[in-house]
């Protein structure tokens, strides 16, 4: 039975790798498809050639990342590394919680090192060569240190809490874990922009002037109260453009990248903000929160069924159940479920984007939004011809041509 479990885990890893690889190849080959008429003016010929080169570079690099990640986990599983790691941790620590947390910490450090190497190459080799990266190596290192510390405390605290609930609540684990995580998700939504974002970026209020006046005039016209419009210093990391809406109730806030303000007209920016206000008017954030709670329920259900199964630990050489190792296998086995959930959530997200776009059409000016969408696509090197299947599985936003077609 143990050998069968092992083979199933390896087979699952390989199947997910092959599926992901096939999907990437499918999307990559579609880059030469005919550009839809509605977006043929997004790139000039030379700019499109540069995009093609950018797409090819990212595609090849993505294959390397996928292959290395697969090899790392297979080598760790097959070499008996986790058994050695468990013996090492147990020989030092004699606490149920500390043993598990340290076991997971060592595994996280390995993944963190691999991810950091790839992130460095992507930022300072690929993104820099195409003019996107504006980040200094000092900022890169600081970001990684902050991310590591945040994960250590927040992630470690979350796992410790789940372990405590699992050990002390027995069959009520699902209920307590579900309620606890819902509270955490709501709190994170409330404090994300005001507490977490400032750890990495500076947020400043939008300056008084013509742009701010136009924004408030539009917001007033649709009965929307804007309490805070912040400008993020995104340009210290990248030249790419973006804007987003976060929080709800009195904590809601609109955040504009400084690169967006630099490269768009006031009318285009108002159109982008009108889109974000559309999300709020249609209560998409509340729906997304509800969707997250549903997905969370699925994850916790799988975790409840999986956590105490000794057969998974025993299949890889442990003499008894190892909770830390089971959690790692849980993240692997959950991959197919994540794919299905991603497909559903992406479909819902794309519908929300269409609704927010039409809010702009009904209440402001769709031509300004179309102009902004084209500019976003050009400045961010967006793919104008993604494969339809790739879009269905991976895209949270519809392709720009589909959005423009819907608006027209």
Q: Which H or E run contains 204?
A: strand 203-205
| Residue 316 C-alpha from the chain's centroid | 31
Among 279, 274, 283, CA closest to 215: 274
State which of 255, 275, 295 marks the end of a domain.
275
Same domain flag for 293 and 162: yes
Residue whose entry in the numeric block shows the structure tokens 């990495």: 200
Residues 232 and 368 in one domain: no
Whether residue 210 sits in one domain with residue 97: no
Number of neighbouring beta carbons within 10 Å of residue 274: 29
Looking at the fold, whether 293 and 376 belong to one and the same domain comes out as: yes
- Residue 405: C-alpha distances to residues 37, 42, 366 (Å): 10, 14, 11
Which residues span the domain enclosing 195? 2-200+283-407
DSSP state of 256: E
Strand order in the sheet with 203-205: 203-205, 229-232, 253-257, 243-246
Regarding whether 187 and 263 lie in a shared domain, the answer is no
Distance of CA 216 to the CA centre of its chain: 31
Burial class (CB in 10 A: 0-12, 13-18, 19+), 277: buried
In terms of domains, do 244 and 130 share one? Answer: no
Find where tokens 């830390």 sit: 324
pLDDT digit string (tens) for the chain, length 408 residues: 777 888 888 998 899 899 989 999 999 888 888 899 999 998 888 888 888 888 899 999 999 999 999 999 999 999 989 999 988 998 888 788 889 999 999 999 999 999 999 999 999 999 898 888 888 999 999 999 999 999 999 989 999 998 888 888 877 888 888 888 888 888 887 788 888 888 898 988 888 889 888 988 998 898 887 778 888 888 888 888 888 777 666 666 788 888 888 888 999 999 998 998 898 888 888 888 888 888 888 888 888 878 778 888 888 888 888 888 999 888 888 877 777 888 888 899 999 999 999 999 999 989 999 999 999 898 888 889 999 999 988 898 999 999 999 998
Q: What is the pTM assigned to this prediction?
A: 0.85
**256 and 310 in one domain?**
no
**Rounded Cα–Cα distance for residues 340 and 352 (Å):** 19
Query: What's the pLDDT at 150?
Result: 92
Q: Are residues 233 and 356 in the same domain?
A: no
Are 268 and 165 in the same domain?
A: no
Distance CA 126, CA 239 (A): 14
pLDDT at 228: 80
| Residue 340: closest CA among 18, 19, 13, 10 | 19
* 179, 234: one domain: no
Asked if residue 207 and residue 194 are part of one domain, the reply reads no
When divided into structural domains, the chain yields a total of: 2
Tally of helices (H runs) and strands (E runs) in the chain: 18, 4
- Shared domain for 178 and 101, answered yes or no, is yes
The domain that contains 231 carries what CATH number? Answer: 3.30.2010.10
């Amino acid at each position: 039975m143990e050998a069968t479990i092992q083979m199933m885990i390896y087979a699952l890893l390989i199947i997910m790798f092959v599926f992901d690889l096939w999907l990437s190849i499918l999307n990559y080959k579609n880059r030469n498809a005919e550009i839809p008429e509605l977006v043929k003016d997004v790139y000039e010929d030379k700019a499109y050639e540069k995009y093609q080169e950018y797409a090819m570079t990212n595609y090849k690099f993505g294959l390397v990342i996928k292959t290395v990640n697969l090899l790392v986990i297979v080598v760790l599983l097959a070499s008996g590394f986790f058994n050695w790691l468990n013996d090492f941790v147990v020989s030092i620590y004699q606490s149920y919680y500390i043993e598990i947390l340290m076991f997971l910490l060592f595994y996280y450090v390995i993944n963190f090192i691999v991810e950091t190497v790839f992130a460095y190459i992507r930022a300072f080799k690929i993104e820099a060569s195409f003019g996107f990266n504006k980040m200094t190596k000092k900022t890169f290192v600081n970001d990684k240190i902050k991310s590591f510390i945040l994960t250590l405390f927040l992630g470690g605290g979350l796992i410790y809490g789940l372990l405590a609930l699992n050990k002390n609540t027995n069959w009520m684990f699902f209920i307590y874990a579900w309620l606890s995580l819902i509270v955490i998700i709501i709190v994170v939504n409330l404090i994300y922009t005001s507490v977490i974002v400032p750890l990495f970026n500076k947020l400043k209020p939008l300056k008084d002037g013509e742009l701010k006046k136009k924004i408030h005039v539009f917001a007033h016209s649709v009965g929307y109260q804007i309490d805070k419009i912040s400008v993020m210093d995104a340009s210290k990391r990248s030249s790419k453009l973006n804007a987003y809406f976060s929080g709800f109730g009195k904590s809601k806030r609109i955040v504009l990248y400084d690169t967006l303000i630099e490269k768009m007209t006031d009318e285009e920016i108002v159109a982008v903000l009108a889109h974000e206000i559309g999300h709020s008017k249609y209560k998409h954030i509340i729906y997304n929160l509800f969707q997250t709670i549903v997905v969370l329920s699925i994850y916790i259900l799988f975790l409840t069924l999986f956590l105490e199964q000794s057969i998974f630990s025993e299949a890889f050489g442990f003499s008894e159940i190892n909770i830390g190792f089971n959690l790692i296998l849980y993240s692997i086995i959950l991959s197919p479920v994540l794919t299905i959930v991603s497909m559903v959530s992406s479909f819902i997200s794309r519908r929300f984007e269409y609704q927010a776009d039409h809010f702009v059409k009904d209440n402001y000016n769709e031509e300004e939004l179309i102009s902004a969408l084209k500019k976003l696509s050009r400045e961010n090197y967006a793919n104008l011809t993604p494969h339809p299947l790739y879009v269905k599985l991976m895209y949270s936003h519809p392709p720009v041509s589909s959005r423009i077609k819907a608006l027209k």
